[in-house]
Amino acid sequence: MNSESSVPPGPDGVPHRRRVRYSGKNPRRFDQKYKELDPTRDPATFAKVVASGKTPAGSHIPIMVSEIVGILRLQPGDIVVDATLGHGGHTRELLAAVQPGGRLIATDQDPVELPRTEARLRALVAERGWPDDSLAIHRSNFAGLPKILAAAGHYDGVDGLLADLGCSSMQFDNPARGFSFKHDGPLDMRMNPQRGQPARAWLASVSPEALARVLEENADEPEAGALAAALAGRDFPTTTALVNAIRRRLTDPEEAEACTRRVFQAVRIAVNDEFSALDNLLRVLPACVKSGGRIAMLSFHSGEDRRVKHAFAAGQRDGIYAAVTEDLLRPSADERRANPRASSARLRWAVRA
Ligand SMILES: C[S@@+](CC[C@H](N)C(=O)[O-])C[C@H]1O[C@@H](n2cnc3c(N)ncnc32)[C@H](O)[C@@H]1O
C-alpha cells in the first residue's frame, strides 16, 4: 500500500508522494517531523518543543527581539528594512511596530525558505488588515539593498535597518541543505543553492594553502595547516564523509566535536562568501539609512563581529555615524537558557549622522 505505484497520479501525471510517517512518538529524521514542520497542524507539539529549549524543525527562534526593537525605536509610519528575513521572526515584530502607515522591506537570498516565510507573513498582513504594500520581500543578496530602496523611491534611506547574520535554523536543521555535521546529507552548504558551488566541489578543488587560510580566518582553527593538508583536494560527497575524515584525526570526543564544528563553520563561510557579502553591506549601509536612522547588527562569531565593530568605529570617526555601541550587547541568561542557539549572539548598533 505504501509503494509509489499504488498511489494515483496527480493532475500533472506525476505520482503523488505520501508524506513520510513515523510509527513511534519520537521522530528521529527531519522528514518524519511533520508535526513540527507545520506548526498550524499541531501547535501543541510546536509549543512543547520550544518549551524544552529546542528549535522546532523547519523554524527559527528570533534572537534578542526586545533589545533590537528598543534600539531601532520605530514609530508608526516608519520605513524599516530587515536585511535577513529568515523565518520572519524579527520581521513580524518590526512590521507591527511601524503600523499603521509604515512599511517593511525584507531581503533574503534563500530561494527554498523565502516563499514559505512570505506565505506566513502575507497571511499575517491579511489577518491584521494591514495594506498589502506594507510588506515587500525581495529574493536578493543584501548587498543589493541600495538598488531595491532606490527602485521603491526611498532615495533618502530608511528609518531603521536590521541584519541578523549567518544561517537560519531551518537551513542548519534540514539535512538536504548539508549545513550541519549532526545530520547526514549531501555536502552542499549554500544559502542560495542556485548560485556558486557546493561545499563538496569547493573542497575538492581548494589547495591546502587556501584551505589553511580559510580555517584560520573563518574559525580560528589551531590545527589549520595539518587539517588542510588532510582535507584539501579530496572528494567528500556527504557531511558524514567529511565528519569521519576530521574525527579520524582526533581521539578526544569533545575535541573532535569542537574541531568538526570549526571546520563546518569555516567551509560554510567560504562557500557562501559571507565575509565579502558582509563587507559590501557595511559599505552600503550609510546610503541605506536616513539621517537619525538606526541600525542593528546581530553577529555570531568573532570574524563577523570584528568587521561590524571596525566599520561602525570608522564610520563614527568619519562623521557618518553620530553614535555607535560602546559595549557589545549579549542575550540575557534567560534567553540563552531558553534558546541555546542564542548563546554566541553579539548585538551592535549605530545611528546615522
Ligand atoms: C539568522 S537568519 C535570520 C533569521 C531571522 N531574523 C528570523 O528571526 O527568522 C539569517 C538569514 O539571512 C540570510 N542571509 C545570509 N546572508 C545573506 C546575504 N548576503 N544576503 C541575503 N540574505 C542573507 C540567510 O539565508 C538566512 O535566511
Q: Are residues 264 and 128 in the same domain?
A: no
Q: Say how many C-beta atoms besides its own lie within 10 A of residue 108's C-beta.
A: 26
Residue whose entry in the numeric block shows the C-alpha cell 522546532: 56
Residue whose entry in the numeric block shows the C-alpha cell 549605530: 350
Is 186 a member of any domain? no
Q: Are residues 151 and 297 in the same domain?
A: yes
Over pLDDT 90: what percentage of the chain?
Answer: 82
What string of DSSP letters covers 169-233?
HHHHH-GGG---TTS--BS---SSTTSS--HHHHHHH--HHHHHHHHHHHH--TTHHHHHHHHTT
The Å distance, Cα 83 to ligand 1 centre, comes to 7
CATH number at residue 162: 3.40.50.150
The enclosing H or E element of 119 equals helix 114-128
Return mean pLDDT, the chain: 90
Report the nearest-CA residue for atom 9 of ligand 1.
87
Q: Are residues 135 and 164 in the same domain?
A: yes
Q: Which atom of ligand 1 is nearest to the CA of 191?
A: 25
**CB 93 less than 6 A from any atom of ligand 1:** no
Q: Which residue has the higher pLDDT, 318 or 37?
A: 318
Report the nearest-CA residue for atom 7 of ligand 1.
89
pLDDT tens digits along 42-61:
666 666 666 666 677 777 89
Residue ranges making up the domain that contains 239 = 193-271
**CB 298 less than 6 A from any atom of ligand 1:** no
**CB 331 less than 6 A from any atom of ligand 1:** no
Phi, psi (degrees; rounded to nearest 5) at 303: -60, -40
**Chain mean position to CA 272:** 12
The enclosing H or E element of 126 equals helix 114-128
Q: Are residues 149 and 286 in the same domain?
A: yes
Q: Mean pLDDT lowest for which of 14-23, 177-186, 214-223, 253-262?
A: 14-23
The Å distance, Cα 17 to ligand 1 centre, comes to 30
Q: Are residues 264 and 121 in the same domain?
A: no
The Å distance, Cα 172 to ligand 1 centre, comes to 12
Q: Are residues 82 and 156 in the same domain?
A: yes
Q: Are residues 225 and 200 in the same domain?
A: yes
**Mean pLDDT across the stretch 266-291?**
98
pLDDT tens digits along 223-276:
999 999 999 999 999 999 999 999 998 889 999 999 999 999 999 999 999 999
Choose the residue to mutate in 139, 172, 191 for probing ligand 1, maximizing ligand atoms within 8 Å of C-beta: 191
Question: What 3-state class would DSSP assign to 116?
Answer: helix
Is 263 a member of any domain? yes
Instruction: Give the count of domains, the chain.
Output: 3
Q: Which atom of ligand 1 is nearest to the CA of 141?
A: 20
